[in-house]
């Protein structure tokens, strides 16, 4: 078996040449990352890359199986592009059955498929340890080092999420949830530390440590495996409503957590309610306070343009950023993902189905305001964030003077100058679209 990692490939058209370097290959599985939001959104560039790879396989007469969130949603797109079989749902068991040559396989569309959707695996402990030896870890290390950031590797402990945020697509796992046992995760983690020696980890789970009692057991398993050795710092994703108890946050800190990203989405409870977020701004504020108290940094994902969102709601989001001064923010314009309630709500007004690239950030439907409003709103949030982080930047400069920290302080100052202008521009750009999708409720 040959594992070909396309992470650093600049040119999807070179896949044929890659295949030619491995003449023994007689079948190809193209596996998309089910944890990746970019793969769920599947901007046109990613689809085109998939098609180019399928074309290279077809030109060499190689049977291909393809999987990933976009494949689950649109198997025909990939079958039309030359795939022999397209997986709906989780890939691992299907892949093994396909390679074994079974005739009819549940969850498989294509010449030998039985259709339907593959049910997610419930026992993640039955999976072997990740085969890190197949990955060129040195390439990842150099990429991280070139970026100036500490070298971080990804690890998943769980699959799926049972919550119902109505814009969040779940093409692979639905609303199911399965988690690997803390003992097995610690085994994976210790092997990874020994083999790759990363500076940190990113747990890719939609919600880290969701299962009650899992975090305490993880803490105990780490103590047993590592003893007094330092914990590897990690970052993860969670929900604010799950971080209201100080004991939970203390356990996160004790296990090495250094940053938590929360889907805060909006500074307006009205919008959170319309999204079925089942979380409030007050909960976000409390979670951020507790995380800070335990030395854990915070990143907030923010969303603009949900139906019914007014100028006042966007200003409330800006005010939340100002108050909480998170270490990081991620801003996105609401994206209608197939299979979601949100998609159903806006489908009749959609002007396009996909972004070209993952940084497009433009509304694909009739949002409350026209597109330029969101360009300004995004900039405003970036200015607010930089200004809110200015005291931390100055502190860092005093602590360790240098060009890099000086540049950060100067950047904050530039954002400060731009902020009042952006506020005025936002108000000027706030001309409601009369054909916008109406607010919910
Ligand atoms: S909590 Fe996160 S992963 Fe779960 S439904 Fe909401 S946005 Fe999606």
pLDDT at 108 over 80: yes
Pocket test for ligand 1, best of 165, 302, 340 (most atoms within 8 A of CB): 165
Atom of ligand 1 nearest to the CA of 168: 8
Residue of the CA atom closest to atom 1 of ligand 1: 163
How far does residue 279's CA lie from ligand 1's centre (Å)? 11
Atom of ligand 1 nearest to the CA of 239: 1
How distant is the alpha carbon of residue 154 from its chain centre? 12
How far does residue 53's CA lie from ligand 1's centre (Å)? 31
pLDDT of residue 415: 97
For the chain, the residue count is 441
How far does residue 170's CA lie from ligand 1's centre (Å)? 9
The CATH number of 124-429 is 3.80.30.20
Averaged over 360-375, what is the pLDDT? 94
Averaged over 100-118, what is the pLDDT? 83
How far does residue 160's CA lie from ligand 1's centre (Å)? 9
How far does residue 311's CA lie from ligand 1's centre (Å)? 25
How far does residue 109's CA lie from ligand 1's centre (Å)? 28
Atom of ligand 1 nearest to the CA of 161: 4
Distance CA 127, CA 121 (A): 10
pLDDT of residue 105: 87
Averaged over 373-379, what is the pLDDT? 97
CATH 3.40.50 residue ranges in the chain?
Answer: 12-110
pLDDT of residue 356: 80
pLDDT of residue 38: 81
Would you tell me how many other CB atoms lie within 10 Å of the CB of residue 29? 17
pLDDT tens figures, 193-240 = 888 999 999 999 999 999 999 999 999 999 999 998 889 999 999 999
Distance CA 415, CA 204 (A): 31
Q: Is the CB of 163 under 6 A from ligand 1?
A: yes
Residue of the CA atom closest to atom 8 of ligand 1: 168
Q: Which residues of 273-308 are buried (b: 16+ CB within 10 A; e: fewer)?
A: ebbbbebebebbbbbbebbbeeebbbbbbbbbbbbb
pLDDT tens figures, 283-315 = 999 999 999 999 999 999 999 999 999 999 999
Q: Is the CB of 168 under 6 A from ligand 1?
A: yes
pLDDT tens figures, 405-438 = 999 999 999 999 999 999 999 999 999 999 999 9
The CATH number of 12-110 is 3.40.50
Averaged over 40-47, what is the pLDDT? 81
CATH 3.80.30.20 residue ranges in the chain?
Answer: 124-429
């Amino acid at each position: 078996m040959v594992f070909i990692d396309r992470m650093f490939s600049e040119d999807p058209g070179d896949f044929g040449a890659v295949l030619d370097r491995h003449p023994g290959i007689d079948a190809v599985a193209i596996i998309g990352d089910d944890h990746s939001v970019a793969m769920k959104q599947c901007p046109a560039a990613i689809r085109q890359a998939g098609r180019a790879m399928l074309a290279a396989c077809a030109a060499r007469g190689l049977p291909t199986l393809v999987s990933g969130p976009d494949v689950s949603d649109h198997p025909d797109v990939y079958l039309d592009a030359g795939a022999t079989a397209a997986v709906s749902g989780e890939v691992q068991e299907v892949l093994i059955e396909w390679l074994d040559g079974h005739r009819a396989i549940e969850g498989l569309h294509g010449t030998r498929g039985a259709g339907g959707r593959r049910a997610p695996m419930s026992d993640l402990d039955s999976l072997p340890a990740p085969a890190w030896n197949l990955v060129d870890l040195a390439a990842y290390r150099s990429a991280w080092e070139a970026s100036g950031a500490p070298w971080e590797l990804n690890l998943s402990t769980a699959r799926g999420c049972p919550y119902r945020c109505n814009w969040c697509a779940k093409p692979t796992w639905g609303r199911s949830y399965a988690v690997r046992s803390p003992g097995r995760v610690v085994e994976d983690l210790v092997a990874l530390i020994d083999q790759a020696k990363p500076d940190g980890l990113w747990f890719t789970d939609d919600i880290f440590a969701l299962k009650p009692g899992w975090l305490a057991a993880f803490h105990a398993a780490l103590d047993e495996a590592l003893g007094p050795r330092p914990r590897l710092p990690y970052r993860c994703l969670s929900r604010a409503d799950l971080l209201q108890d100080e004991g939970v946050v203390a356990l996160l800190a004790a296990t090495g957590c250094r940053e938590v990203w929360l889907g805060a989405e909006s500074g307006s409870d009205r919008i959170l309610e319309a999204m079925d977020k089942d979380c409030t701004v007050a909960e976000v504020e409390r979670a951020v306070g507790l995380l800070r108290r335990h030395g854990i940094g915070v990143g907030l994902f923010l969303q603009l343009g949900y139906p019914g969102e007014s100028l006042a709601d966007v200003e409330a989001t800006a005010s939340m950023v100002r108050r909480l001064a998170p270490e990081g923010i991620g801003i996105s314009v609401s994206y209608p993902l197939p299979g979601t309630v949100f998609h159903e709500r806006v489908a009749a007004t959609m002007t396009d189905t996909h972004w070209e690239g993952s940084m497009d950030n433009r509304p694909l439907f009739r949002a409350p305001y026209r597109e330029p409003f969101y360009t300004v709103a995004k900039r405003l949030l970036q200015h607010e964030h930089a200004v809110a982080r200015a005291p931390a930047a100055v502190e860092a400069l005093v602590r360790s003077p240098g060009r890099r920290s000086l540049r950060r302080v100067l950047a904050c100052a530039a954002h400060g100058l731009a902020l009042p202008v952006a506020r005025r521009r936002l108000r000027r750009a706030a001309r409601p679209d009369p054909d916008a999708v109406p607010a919910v409720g």
